[in-house]
Amino acid sequence: MLKPGITRFLLAAFVIFFHISKFFFLGRFAVCSFFILSGYWITLMFEKKYSLKENPLKTFYISRVWRLFPIFYAFTIIGFFVWWLTDRSVPSVINSLHGIDSAVFWLSNTVLFTYYSLPKVTILVPAWSLDIEMQFYILFPLLFYIGYKNYKRLNYIFLATLLSFVYVSVCYSNLWVKNSMLVYLYLFVFGMIIYFRKLQFKSITEKICIIIALIITALQYVFPYSIHHYKDEASVYYIMLSFVLVALFVPTLANSVRRTSDKNDRFWGEMSFLVYLSHWVWIKPYGFFSEGTSTLVHTIYLLLFFAVTFLSSLIIYKLIDRPMEKLRHQWINKQP
């Protein structure tokens, strides 16, 4: 079955298809799956690497900022100029922001915080999940030390955060609340539980869950109610549908992280972060040029969109991501 790197790349591809298709609805499912994986990998890295340092918190926080921000800044800058080329009014729109809107725009595009609220002018929409990640990092050391000696305590935290997800999803419509970490924290915590409890599932269980998930996915295109709600991001139906699909994907996620990753698989895993952000840079010109064209021309633009997304990701991977990762790992290894 799936290895860890290709699993992450597949989830990134789901997000891309969600953004460019009227019919593909697995965007939230993919992001929620990413959050579970993040909870697992961050816990593993902290125990195996950061906790062994004299100042584990300093090393952890500097390392995480170092990992996320160079790529975030690179695609934000590229995204601004690409957007400006298709819409010369962008600078004036940004200058017209006042008060809280202006503060949120500049705060989100410099330190990520408040990006989850999707500001009125959003250069890199997928970066909202990086904001949620950063909020999780703030809480993580506390969660780690709570669960390290007795991981059963994390079960109670998981249940509390799961109830928070249900309550906020059902009772709130304000994006500041409905898209906040209150809705997603249970996923990170569950990823931590997968690590501490060394959860694994039988191959037959993984396959059965995938088959059920595929059937549920297919049924969304059949029933009239589903057809009208399966991609309504604000609806409780869409949120709970994604929740069910993520739950069915848990055996695949838990088993994938236990499989040995080779050089090729690591490459796809590393590229997943880049294509996840880079596709939004090119989605505006893709929509600008393909709108109103014939099916053939539209298909050509779609293929160009995929090619440019991957190529730009590969360039940033070679010129920025790998050199920065090499420096980051050297810095971590030098810490006493």
pLDDT tens figures, 119-175:
788 999 999 999 999 999 999 999 999 988 888 899 999 999 999 999 999 888 777
User: How high does pLDDT run on average in the chain?
Assistant: 94
pLDDT beyond 90 at 253? yes
Which one, of 78, 123, 137, lies nearest residue 313 by Cα?
78
Q: How far apart are CA 63 and CA 2, in angstroms?
A: 28
Indicate the domain borders of the chain: 4-334
163-191: pLDDT as tens digits: 999 999 988 877 778 888 999 999 999 99
| pLDDT of res. 22 | 85
Q: Find where tokens 């869409």 sit.
A: 238
pLDDT tens, residue by residue, 262-309: 999 999 999 999 999 999 999 989 998 999 999 999 999 999 999 999
Residue 243 vs residues 23, 90, 173: alpha-carbon distances, Å:
18, 36, 18
Secondary structure percentages of the chain, helix, strand, coil, to 5 = 80, 0, 20
